[in-house]
Structure 1
Amino acid sequence: LAQLNNALSDEVHERERLTAELERLALEDALTGLFSRRRVIDCVEGMAESVGEEARSLAVMMLDLDDFKALNDTHGHAAGDFALESFAEILRGELSAEQYAGRMGGEEFLVVAADLELEAAVDLAERIRRAVEHASLHWKGERLSLAVSIGLVVTTSPWPDAGELVARADDLLYRAKNEGRNRVIVQTHGDHG
């Protein structure tokens, strides 16, 4: 009976460990350690509702590494993973405690920050862009050049549809790509005085 109890106890602990790991994976991107797509979208939803009340503004940035397919094709997928991990480190280095980043998929990321004035939001996006552009990354003795295009929406008005806010940032991202890459395109909503 004692053996059965021990075996059952071990199985319960293993199930608890696996459940905790599944919950972590649902909230965190396994490669980069940033928020998962679901978790960062939840952040946008929660923060968008408070604009004009608790928060004065909300900045939503969609970021995409430029020419990422070429990097993968030239250096291989392991180099691509290294570039994604390096980009996540750059984001962690530029963002403050109340600013959140998540991986949307592939080489596309989302950043959300409350209470940034327009100028500060643009400055943050530009700092990220420059940090990526000037990053000294080496893979198997070769320098990897990275650049990022960024679509940035800053609103001072309540935004009930977080999905629409993310879609606007995504549209601006593609405009940045079409206008030459390695740039920030900004759109504002509300009163920015």
Structure 2
Amino acid sequence: MVNENPQDLPHPPWPETGQSLTALIDAQREVARLSAREQLFNALLVSVNAVLWAFDWETRRVLYVSPAYERLFGRSAGLLLADVQQWRDSVYPDDLEHAERSLAQVLEKGAVEDREYRIVTADGQVRWLRDKCFLNRLAEPGQPVMVVGIAEDITDRKRLETELQHLATTDALTRSSNRRHFFECASREFQQARQQGSSLAFLLLDIDNFKRINDSYGHQLGDLVLQQLAECGRAALRRADLFGRIGGEEFAAVFPGCTPQMARHVAERLQREIQHLRFNHQGQTFGITVSQGLTLLSADDECLDALYSRADAAMYEAKRQGKNRIICG
């Protein structure tokens, strides 16, 4: 028998070991590639002013939330993934029912794209979100029902809408309702009063001798008179009443659900508030008065114009009788 030195024997090819090493290297490269892609994906999502999320409907668990969640909500994404109650706690209380109901509608419709609600961030800011939700159509039968969505921060848009609405409905000088908005609201109150058989009062008032004020003291002081009168209107009228500037020095008010006695009382209170106003021009102090026409809804009134016409006639009758008075028509 020949004794052979093991070192002299030919080396086996060890194909299995070589393949395992190659597979390990490939796997490590794939992990690194996926990690890099995930980091790039998250970096891109951080700059997006929206939150991507995925929700398991059956287990009521948040499966994924993008990095923007912590920036918009000011709350920990880890806590949200552990307990969906974190989301419920962040929704503005008045909007919670709508937010949850609209989320449930995704199961019926397959998608809900007009879901808007407010949240309260960790530092107390109120922000508006528009949350588009979709069912995961790629899930195979028997797979958990998953809802995915993208929540966009629309706070700036909502703020702009509010400002535009304010500009469209408000008299710029007096901050009261402008003529168009006042009569739109007054018409709705008229229709509601007719349908419910409730009472309604309509008031017109005009500043006495306003042209003389502008001619004697200038338009700047005339503007101040209009502004102060509008403040009197906001102070004297009830919370549910409407008040607006419908002409140069003419204002109008509507008193929903107001008895004749109460309507007269509110008009008199407004009269007193206005009489207490004082204005100063180069050491000269003066006050103002108004003439008011007041009327009530009757069974024969078919439109708001009927009340407006009677109140207008009553107001000019107050002018003819010496001004600074209330005439009911």
* Matched position secondary structure for 1:60: strand
Residue number among 255, 261, 279 corresponding to 1:137 in the alignment: 279
Residue number among 265, 289, 294 corresponding to 1:147 in the alignment: 289
Residues of 1 paired with 2:157 and 2:189: CA distance?
Answer: 34
Alignment of 1:63-78 (within 5 A): 63-78=205-220
Contact conserved, 1:57 with 1:157, CA < 8 A, in 2? no
> Which segment is superposed worse, 150-159 or 122-131?
150-159
Contact conserved, 2:171 with 2:178, CA < 8 A, in 1? yes
Q: 2:221 maps to which residue?
A: 79
What CA deviation, in whole Å up to 9, does each residue of 1:94-120 have, x standing for no partner? 012100100001000010111111011
Q: 2:173 maps to which residue?
A: 31
Task: Say yes or no: does 1:89 pair with 2:238.
Answer: no
Q: 1:99 maps to which residue?
A: 241
How far apart are 1:20 and its partner, in Å? 5.3
* Matched position secondary structure for 1:165: helix
Residue number among 171, 177, 183 corresponding to 1:41 in the alignment: 183
Residues of 2 paired with 1:83 and 1:16: CA distance?
Answer: 34
Task: Say yes or no: does 1:120 pair with 2:262.
Answer: yes
Q: Which of structures 1 and 2 has the bigger CA Rg?
A: 2
Residues of 2 paired with 1:20 and 1:119: CA distance?
Answer: 37
Residues of 2 paired with 1:42 and 1:22: CA distance?
Answer: 17
How far apart are 1:160 and its partner, in Å? 2.9
Residues of 2 paired with 1:17 and 1:106: CA distance?
Answer: 30
Say if 1:16 and 1:48 are closer, same or farther in 2 by CA, change over 3 A. Answer: closer
Residues of 1 paired with 2:208 and 2:193: CA distance?
Answer: 31
Runs of 4+ aligned structure 1 residues displaced above 6 Å come to 13-19
What CA deviation, in whole Å up to 9, does each residue of 1:148-181 have, x standing for no partner? 0000011253733112221221111111111110
Say if 1:139 and 1:57 are closer, same or farther in 2 by CA, change over 3 A. Answer: farther
Identity over aligned pairs, percent: 36
Say if 1:14 and 1:140 are closer, same or farther in 2 by CA, change over 3 A. Answer: farther
> Which segment is superposed worse, 28-37 or 133-142?
133-142
Task: Say yes or no: does 1:184 pair with 2:326.
Answer: yes
Contact conserved, 1:135 with 1:146, CA < 8 A, in 2? yes
What CA deviation, in whole Å up to 9, does each residue of 1:32-91 have, x standing for no partner? 000010111112211111225436210100110000000111100000000000000011
Residues of 2 paired with 1:16 and 1:84: CA distance?
Answer: 31
Say if 1:16 and 1:117 are closer, same or farther in 2 by CA, change over 3 A. Answer: closer
* Matched position secondary structure for 2:202: strand
How far apart are 1:21 and its partner, in Å? 4.3
Contact conserved, 2:296 with 2:307, CA < 8 A, in 1? no
Contact conserved, 2:297 with 2:307, CA < 8 A, in 1? no
Contact conserved, 2:291 with 2:315, CA < 8 A, in 1? yes
What CA deviation, in whole Å up to 9, does each residue of 1:118-171 have, x standing for no partner? 011011111111221222333454323100000001125373311222122111
Structure 1 regions of 5+ residues with no counterpart?
1-12, 188-193
Residues of 1 paired with 2:172 and 2:248: CA distance?
Answer: 12
Amino acid across the alignment from 1:49: Q
RMSD, aligned CA: 2.5
Task: Say yes or no: does 1:62 pair with 2:62.
Answer: no
Say if 1:52 and 1:75 are closer, same or farther in 2 by CA, change over 3 A. Answer: same
> Which segment is superposed worse, 126-135 or 46-55?
46-55
Q: 2:316 maps to which residue?
A: 174
Say if 1:55 and 1:29 are closer, same or farther in 2 by CA, change over 3 A. Answer: farther
Say if 1:140 and 1:98 are closer, same or farther in 2 by CA, change over 3 A. Answer: farther
